[in-house]
Structures are given as structure tokens and as C-alpha cells.
């Protein structure tokens, strides 16, 4: 089914489906920005920016509720089938992951506010690298959803290992700091949390990529090759 | 699951016009098979071929084979009346005999088939069929009331009871719920699922949710051709053919 599909006979239904697609795209863009700005707030020690990120989470939550309501309305009123059914049920699940990604960005911002109150242990190197991979995974998983591109899904899923590797590296590094100087334990733990939040964000992006693959192919790839 | 009916290159004509074209389909025993598709796609014509009702229309005839339990019902020696006894039919609009009593409506098919029975035999058949059609509780105290005094949904179940009285093996239903309200529709659907333990059911429906709710297998017809035939779940969640996908998602121009 490569060629573009014709429009629905019921144009209001067609419009509502497009509206759902647009909301999810916007929500994806917003959580990407949340990740980027939370990390900027950490790296540039910008507490004001961190607080903006925390405040903006309300918007993400509102979009999550909007998406839920739209999906439920579409299911109740139009009894969708085939690719539409897979699109709507996938939308219903993707919004959960996007909302959690938003929460993780808020958690990063909260830790940044705390860390900015004390001197920095060392320059941040691996954390921004992790963040940029995780952020690109979120972006690509949403692009894959929009373009129905399972190749892009596979690429997202493959990149999760990089983030996991960096997370372990950050852990080992901070462990040695803490062993050397117990006064660094509080700050190191906070950075460790941030590393974990980024690792979780990458996992959510991976979930989205798996669900998009189901949406496009009608085949479940979740829990197939868990290590 | 064994095949109850197989069609081989079944093509049906109205004079020179082709109604359905080269249909090869296996209908499994004790399953509900739904036929869906837009108006004029040949789904009613197809089921009417399955019990030789198609040829009743002037100028209409069918080619190919319909194999019922291994025997071609279009073989020259076959009596169509006997075929219709084995393969019963319920139509879109309830068609009880309106002035005939409820019990006589049920027994009508047997009488027409020349079966003779005494009073207690008749009572037993009437009770069995009305129970099978899930109508017994509602009419047991007024079996002598005319069939026309029942509601539309009850009349349709009376027609099911009448079809069951001659103990058919296959039940063809052509849009049995299109004139009924949602509650009567739900009763008929419930009934179909109960009946499939003993009968093979083929249902034509414009209501795709009805097919999705009741049928084990679903066939999609379009302009006289069988486009796709498969498990209902697969047809409604992930069909193979583009035409099927467009139809079930409401993308038909």
C-alpha cells in the first residue's frame, strides 16, 4: 500500500484524523524543546530557563489530555477499522510516552536548579551527548510516525544501545568521583539521576518506534528480542 | 474445520449482465461467514446462488459449481426444492405470513414440504424452533396470535424459527437486521452465535460492525468480484488488499 490513500468519504472524520496527527506532531516538537532547554539550563547554569521548562510542562499535559479525548471520540463515533484503527490506537499509546518524556525533561530541569546552587564538579561532556542522541531519537520516532517509515523506526531502536552505553560510562565516572571525595556525593547523585532520565527518554522513543512499526505493518515487534 | 460449501468458478448472470464473476470460495462448517461490500457488488446475488434462489428471477442463471458436502447442487438431477430445504434463507425484511398464527408460521415450511404431524409433534417443533430463535419466552402465551401482531424484531426471529423448522444445514441471511432497531439487532446477532454450533451461517450485511462482531470469516466483494476473503479479525485490522482497506476505513468515493 505505497501510493497515498484517497480521502475518507466522511470529511469530518478525515479532518479529525488530521487534527490528531497535527497535535501529536506538535506535542513531539514541544517535548524535544523541553529536553534541549532542560540540558541548556544545566550546562549553562541557567536556573531561569530551568524554571520555564518546569512551567511549560502544563502545555504538554494539556496536549496529552487533548489527544486522549480525540482518540476516544474517534473510536466511539467512527468505529475505525484497518489502518485508521491502528493509527488511532497507536496515537493513544504514543501520547503516554510523549507525556512521560515531558516529565523526564522536567525532572532534569529540577535537578539542574539544585545543581546550579553549588559549584560545578566538572564540565558536562557525556550528558549533552546523551541528550542530543535521546532528543534525535524522539524526533525521528515522531517523524517515522508521520511518514509511516519503519526503516527510521529500526534506526531509532538501534540507537538506544548508544544511550545505554553512555549511561553506564557516566555511572562509572561518577562512582570514582564519589569514592574519592564524599563531599561530591550529593551533586554526583543528582547528575546520575539526570543520566538515568535521559536513558528513560531514549527508552520511550524506542517504545514509540516499536508502536509505529506495528501501526505500519500490523505486526507486533515489542518484547521480541529483549536482552 | 471442514468445508460445508465450496464454489468453483461460480458466475451468475441476469440475462447478459454478469452479477458475480468467477467466485471460488470455501465456506466452513459451523462458522459464520460474512459477505460485505458496497451496493451492487453482487453479495446478495452470490448467496442466492448458494441455494438456487438466483435462477428464480426471470432470465437469471448461474454457471460453475456449488459443492454442498461434496455434491454439486447445480448437477442436472438435483431438485432445487431439496437444495433449499437443506440451505434455508432469511431475508432483509421480516416476511411472516401476517394473518397466520405464530405457531402456524413456524410449521408452514414443514407443511409446504408435505410433512404430516399430529398436534403434539407440531407443538414440539414450534417450541424447539422458537426457543432456538430466542423468541419462545416472548410469545409462549400467545402462540395463536397472528404473526403480523409481533414487532419487527420479533417477526424477524419468527422468520428464523420458520427457517429452522425444516432443519436446514446452512442458513443464508440477506441483511437480516437492516430493518431492525439496535436491541433487536443485538438479539439476532446473539442468536447467530448460538446457532453456529449446529448450523453453517452465511450473512450478507451492509453493517461492517455487524460482520466484525459476529463473523468468523469475512469476504469482501466489489463489482462482482471476490476481492479478499479471510479471518474477520485480519480483514478489519490489517487487510491484504488495498480495495478492502479503502472500503472498511470509509475511503470509498
Average pLDDT, chain A: 94
Q: Rounded distance, CA B146 to CA B110, Å?
A: 18
Task: Give buried/exposed letters for A95-124 (b at 16+ CB in 10 A, else e).
Answer: bbbbbbbbbbbbbbbbbbbebbeeeebeeb
CB pairs under 8 A between A and B: 46
Q: Do A81 and B248 touch (CB under 8 A)?
A: yes
* Interface mutation vs chain B, best among A6, A13, A18, A82, most B CBs within 10 Å: A82
Q: Do B237 and A81 touch (CB under 8 A)?
A: yes
Pick from A6, A79, A86: which is nearest to B246 by CB? A6
Contacts of A193 (CB under 8 A, 6+ apart): A107, A111
Binding-site residues on chain A for chain B (CB distance < 8 A): 1, 5-10, 13, 78-86, 218
| pLDDT over 90 percentage in chain A | 87
Q: Do A79 and B237 touch (CB under 8 A)?
A: no
Pairing of strands B87-90, B32-36: unpaired
Q: Does B227 touch chain A (CB under 8 A)?
A: no
* Arithmetic mean of pLDDT, B126-141: 92
Q: Residue B5's pLDDT is what?
A: 97
Confidence of residue A1 (pLDDT cuts 50, 70, 90): very low
Residue B87 dihedral angles phi and psi, to the nearest 5°: -120, 95
Q: Rounded distance, CA A34 to CA A165, Å?
A: 23
Q: Does B245 touch chain A (CB under 8 A)?
A: yes
Please tell me which residue, B114 or A227, carries the higher pLDDT value: B114
Nearest-CA distance A25 → chain B (Å)? 23
Q: Residue B253's pLDDT is what?
A: 57
Average pLDDT, chain B: 93
Q: Does B236 touch chain A (CB under 8 A)?
A: yes
Q: Residue A223's pLDDT is what?
A: 76
Q: Residue A12's pLDDT is what?
A: 87
CATH number for the domain including B55? Answer: 3.40.50.300
Give the pTM.
0.83
Residue B68 has pLDDT above 80, yes or no: yes
Task: Give buried/exposed letters for B203-218 (b at 16+ CB in 10 A, else e).
Answer: bbbebbebbbbbbbbb
What residues of A are in contact with residue B244 (Cβ under 8 Å)? 82
Q: Rounded distance, CA A193 to CA A111, Å?
A: 8
Pick from A6, A78, A218: which is nearest to B237 by CB? A218
Please check whether residue B91 lies inside any domain of the structure.
yes
Residue A227 has pLDDT above 50, yes or no: no
Instruction: Classify the complex by whether its ipTM is higher than 0.85, answering yes or no.
Output: no
Q: Do A1 and B237 touch (CB under 8 A)?
A: no
Distance of CA A124 to the CA centre of its chain: 21
Nearest-CA distance A81 → chain B (Å)? 5
Q: Do A82 and B236 touch (CB under 8 A)?
A: yes
User: Contact, A107 vs A197, CB < 8 A?
Assistant: yes
Q: Chain B residue with minimal CA distance to A218? A: B238
Q: Does B114 touch chain A (CB under 8 A)?
A: no
Please check whether residue B253 lies inside any domain of the structure.
no
Number of domains in chain B: 1
**What range defines the domain where residue B84 resides?**
3-248
Quote the strand ranges of chain A, DSSP E.
none
Instruction: Count each helix (H run) and each strand (E run) in chain A, helices first.
Output: 6, 0
DSSP tag of B105: H
Contacts of B163 (CB under 8 A, 6+ apart): B88, B89, B90, B109, B171
Instruction: Count each helix (H run) and each strand (E run) in chain B, helices first.
Output: 10, 10
Pairing of strands B3-14, B17-28: antiparallel
Nearest-CA distance A209 → chain B (Å)? 19
Q: Which residue in A220, A16, A219, A44 sits closest to B250, CA to CA?
A: A16
Q: Chain A residue with minimal CA distance to B243? A: A1
Q: Residue A126's pLDDT is what?
A: 95
Please check whether residue B163 lies inside any domain of the structure.
yes
Q: Do A5 and B251 touch (CB under 8 A)?
A: yes
Q: Chain B residue with minimal CA distance to A217? A: B238
Contacts of A171 (CB under 8 A, 6+ apart): A192, A195
Residue B8 has pLDDT above 70, yes or no: yes
A11-217 under CATH 3.50.50.60, yes or no: no
Give the domain ranges of chain A.
Answer: 11-217
pLDDT in tens, B179-236: 888 888 888 899 899 999 999 999 999 989 999 999 999 999 999 999 999 999 999 9
Nearest-CA distance A89 → chain B (Å)? 11
Amino acid at each position: 500500500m505505497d501510493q497515498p490513500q484517497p480521502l475518507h468519504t466522511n470529511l469530518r472524520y478525515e479532518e479529525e484524523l488530521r487534527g490528531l496527527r497535527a497535535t501529536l506532531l506538535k506535542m513531539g516538537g514541544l517535548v524535544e524543546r523541553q529536553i534541549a532547554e532542560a540540558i541548556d539550563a544545566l550546562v549553562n547554569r541557567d536556573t531561569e530557563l530551568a524554571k520555564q521548562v518546569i512551567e511549560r510542562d502544563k502545555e504538554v499535559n494539556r496536549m496529552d489530555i487533548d489527544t486522549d479525548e480525540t482518540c476516544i471520540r474517534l473510536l466511539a463515533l467512527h468505529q475505525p477499522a484497518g489502518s485508521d484503527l491502528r493509527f488511532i490506537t497507536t496515537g493513544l499509546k504514543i501520547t503516554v510516552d510523549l507525556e512521560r518524556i515531558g516529565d523526564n525533561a522536567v525532572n532534569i530541569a529540577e535537578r539542574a536548579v539544585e545543581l546550579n546552587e553549588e559549584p560545578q564538579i566538572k564540565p558536562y561532556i557525556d550528558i549533552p551527548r546523551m541528550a542530543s542522541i535521546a532528543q534525535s531519537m524522539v524526533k525521528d520516532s515522531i517523524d517515522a510516525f508521520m511518514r509511516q517509515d519503519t526503516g527510521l523506526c529500526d534506526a531509532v531502536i538501534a540507537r538506544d544501545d548508544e544511550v545505554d552505553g553512555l549511561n553506564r560510562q557516566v555511572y562509572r565516572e561518577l562512582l570514582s568521583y564519589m569514592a574519592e571525595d564524599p563531599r561530591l556525593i550529593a551533586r554526583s547523585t543528582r547528575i546520575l539521576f539526570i543520566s538515568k532520565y535521559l536513558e528513560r527518554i531514549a527508552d520511550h522513543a524506542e517504545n514509540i518506534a516499536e508502536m509505529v512499526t506495528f501501526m505500519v505493518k500490523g505486526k507486533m515487534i515489542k518484547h521480541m528480542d529483549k536482552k | 474445520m471442514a468445508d460445508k460449501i465450496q464454489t468453483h468458478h461460480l458466475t451468475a448472470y441476469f440475462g447478459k449482465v454478469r452479477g458475480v464473476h468467477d467466485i471460488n470460495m470455501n465456506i466452513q462448517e459451523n462458522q459464520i461467514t460474512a459477505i460485505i461490500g458496497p451496493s451492487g457488488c453482487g453479495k446478495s446475488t452470490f448467496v442466492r446462488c448458494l441455494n438456487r434462489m438466483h435462477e428464480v428471477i426471470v432470465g437469471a442463471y448461474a454457471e460453475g459449481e456449488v459443492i454442498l458436502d461434496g455434491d454439486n447442487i447445480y448437477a442436472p438431477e438435483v431438485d432445487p426444492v431439496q437444495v433449499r430445504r437443506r440451505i434455508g434463507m432469511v431475508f432483509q425484511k421480516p416476511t411472516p405470513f401476517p394473518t397466520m398464527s405464530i405457531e402456524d408460521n413456524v410449521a408452514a415450511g414443514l407443511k409446504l414440504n408435505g410433512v404430516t404431524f399430529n398436534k403434539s409433534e407440531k407443538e414440539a417443533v414450534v417450541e424447539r424452533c422458537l426457543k432456538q430463535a430466542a423468541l419462545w419466552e416472548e410469545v409462549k402465551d400467545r402462540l395463536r396470535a397472528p404473526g403480523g401482531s409481533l414487532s419487527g424484531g420479533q417477526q424477524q426471529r419468527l422468520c428464523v424459527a420458520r427457517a429452522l423448522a425444516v432443519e436446514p444445514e446452512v442458513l443464508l441471511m440477506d441483511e437480516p437486521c437492516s430493518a431492525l432497531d439496535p436491541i433487536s439487532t443485538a438479539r439476532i446477532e446473539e442468536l447467530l452465535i448460538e446457532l453456529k454450533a449446529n448450523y453453517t451461517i452465511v450473512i450478507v450485511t451492509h453493517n461492517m460492525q455487524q460482520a466484525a462482531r459476529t463473523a468468523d470469516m469475512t469476504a469482501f466483494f466489489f463489482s462482482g468480484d471476490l476481492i479478499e476473503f479471510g479471518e474477520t479479525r485480519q480483514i478489519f485490522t490489517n487487510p491484504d488488499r488495498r480495495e478492502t482497506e479503502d472500503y472498511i476505513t470509509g475511503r470509498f468515493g
